[in-house]
Amino acid sequence: MKEKNFYTLGIETSCDETAAAILRGDRELLSNIVYSQAEIHKKYGGVVPEVASRDHLRKIQFVINEALTEAGVHLPELDLIGVTQGPGLVGCLLVGLSTAKGISFGLEKPLIGVNHLEGHLFAHYIESGLEAPPPFVALIVSGGHTSLVHVREWGHYEVIGETRDDAAGEAFDKVGKLIGLGYPAGIEVDRLSKQGNRSAIAFPRPMLDEPGFDFSFAGLKTAILYHMREHPETSQADLAASFQEAVVDVLVEKTLRAADDLKIGRIVVVGGVAANSRLRERFQSSDSGVGVDVHFPSLNLCTDNAAMIAAVAHFHYASNPAHVLNGLQDLSPSSSLRL
Ligand SMILES: Nc1ncnc2c1ncn2[C@@H]1O[C@H](COP(=O)(O)OP(=O)(O)OP(=O)(O)O)[C@@H](O)[C@H]1O
Ligand SMILES: [Mg+2]
């Protein structure tokens, strides 16, 4: 494979971001276009699947064109197409998959279906995979997932803990909404927390005292609701900061414990909630404290993007080119694809 001029198109439409990226070789990003539907879903206070699918359909070709233009690559020059196959909203995934199949069929170029969660891990692969390779413990913390994963090597994953109910990002969004913040609420909780007192309210630290590496965040929402009823005078900022500290405490402590248990000196934090400033701060101070090496991708690679999808596709293609599909073969969306 001529690495230098091998171009991969990545396509991501699993939720409410329409994204396309062009990768040269294994990790050189030539473009990374993300169009967010947040404005559209704002008035409903959450992602409406049918609305999201229709908007992906409306935007996908423009987003791909922009990715090609910014990269200075023409469509026929593409060597490989990678597309998110799941997990995600089926109607949304179908738009990306159908588009990818059409391009693969038309150009007679290989196509690879990508697991979105492996995608989040590959945000690290793109930026720091060479200096900080596996083995490491990964905390995937996003809108739909909270998982601790033992990454033995790229392509070999063992999930050692998961949330039993809400994902951490989901908790951020629900609690943000509950305390009256706008959509999308996760990032608003982060912003507002900077003005609040994180020890104002001692919210529970769910599952922290239990063995194992599972999480649970649904109960926190109820704890906050009760607190708001009993103490309506509590400021939004104190509620946000105290809630955020409870979530961050659990995530940091469980992840450090997992690294210690597995005797692994490296931690990688990925997914949308990895953009949280307090989580980054706390992990970075633990870095110097207990001698583990902690990595976070840049903010634009934490939340959904297609660069990470292109990188996974290229990795699997390079490892085993015989296993690729083409636009004529079946590639169905999978809403609950696991790592
Ligand atoms: N600064 C932040 N602080 C806390 N949460 C944040 C921050 N920025 C983004 N998030 C949360 O990250 C989530 C979005 O992340 P991401 O785009 O990776 O999730 P997703 O694609 O919806 O879910 P999944 O990857 O599990 O399918 C949302 O829940 C959002 O609230
Ligand atoms: Mg995601």
Mean pLDDT of 15-24: 98
Q: Quick one: tokens of 160?
A: 């050692």
Query: Other CB atoms closer than 10 Å to residue 66's CB: what's the count?
Result: 15
**Residue range 35-68, pLDDT digits in tens:** 999 999 999 988 999 999 999 999 999 999 999 9
- Biggest alpha carbon–alpha carbon distance for the chain: 65
Kindly identify the ligand whose nearest atom is closest to the C-alpha of 141.
1
Q: Which residues contact 320 (CB under 8 A, 6 or more apart)?
A: none
Average pLDDT, the chain: 95
Q: Give the integer Cα–Cα distance in Å for 260 and 292.
A: 9
Residue 291 has what pLDDT?
A: 80
**What is the CATH code for 133-300?**
3.30.420.40
**Residue range 184-237, pLDDT digits in tens:** 899 999 999 999 999 999 999 999 999 999 999 999 999 999 999 999 999 999
Q: What is the dihedral of CA 106, 107, 108, 110, to 10 degrees?
A: -110
Q: Give the integer Cα–Cα distance in Å for 28 and 26.
A: 6
Mean pLDDT of 284-299: 85
Which residue out of 12, 124, 142 has the highest number of ligand 1 atoms within 8 Å of its CB and is therefore the one to mutate? 142
Residue 2 has what pLDDT?
A: 42
Q: Do residues 5 and 78 lie in contact, with contact meaning Cβ atoms separated by under 8 Å?
A: no
**Residue range 223-254, pLDDT digits in tens:** 999 999 999 999 999 999 999 999 999 999 99
Question: For residue 251, is it left (φ>0), alpha (ψ between -120 and 50) or beta?
Answer: alpha
Given this structure, which CATH class describes domain 3-120+302-323?
Answer: alpha beta
User: Any idea which residue has 């692994």 for tokens?
Assistant: 264
Query: Has residue 158 got a pLDDT over 90?
Result: yes
CB of 12 sitting under 6 A from ligand 1: no
Residue 286 has what pLDDT?
A: 74
39 HSE (CA, 13 A, CB side): 3
Query: Has residue 257 got a pLDDT over 80?
Result: yes
How distant, in Å, are the alpha carbons of 62, 150, 333 from that of 337?
28, 18, 9
Q: What is the dihedral of CA 22, 23, 29, 30, to 10 degrees?
A: -50
Which residue out of 173, 175, 273 has the highest number of ligand 1 atoms within 8 Å of its CB and is therefore the one to mutate? 273
The radius of gyration computed from the CA coordinates of the chain, to the nearest angstrom, equals 20
Ligand 1, atom 20: closest residue by C-alpha: 143
CB of 273 sitting under 6 A from ligand 1: yes
Ligand 1, atom 31: closest residue by C-alpha: 186
Identical fold, 3-120+302-323 and 133-300: yes
Query: Has residue 313 got a pLDDT over 60?
Result: yes
Residue 320 Cα to ligand 1 middle (Å): 32
Residue 142 Cα to ligand 2 middle (Å): 6
Cα–Cα nearest to 241, from 281, 290, 296: 281
| pTM recorded for the entire structure | 0.96
Domain segments of the chain as ranges: 3-120+302-323, 133-300
